[in-house]
Amino acid sequence: MDKPLIMVSSVTYAMKGKQILSSAGIRAEIERTPKRDVKNACGYSLYVPKDTDEAEKILKENNIKIIGRAERVNKN
């Protein structure tokens, strides 16, 4: 699986990251990090359903601290 959640180090980075990705034409949503992964992150991640690798590259280029990637919890 592509692991479409990009875990960031703070909610501020999540908000900035969403704005940066939106400017680049990449859809992103701020979501709570799954509890199983929260020990390594602030509790917020960016959900990027498409172009996740490209999104991570753009975030790094814009000095957004990335903790890692995680699978999205099925919301059904």
Domain ranges of the chain: 5-70
User: Nearest Cα to 46, choosing from 12, 3, 17, 71?
Assistant: 17
Report the alpha-carbon distance of residue 65 to residue 61 in Å, rounded: 10
* 21-44 tens-digit pLDDT: 999 999 999 998 887 655 655 689
5-70: CATH topology: Alpha-Beta Plaits (3.30.70)
Q: What pLDDT is stored for residue 76 in this prediction?
A: 47
Q: What pLDDT is stored for residue 43 in this prediction?
A: 86
Mean pLDDT in the chain?
88
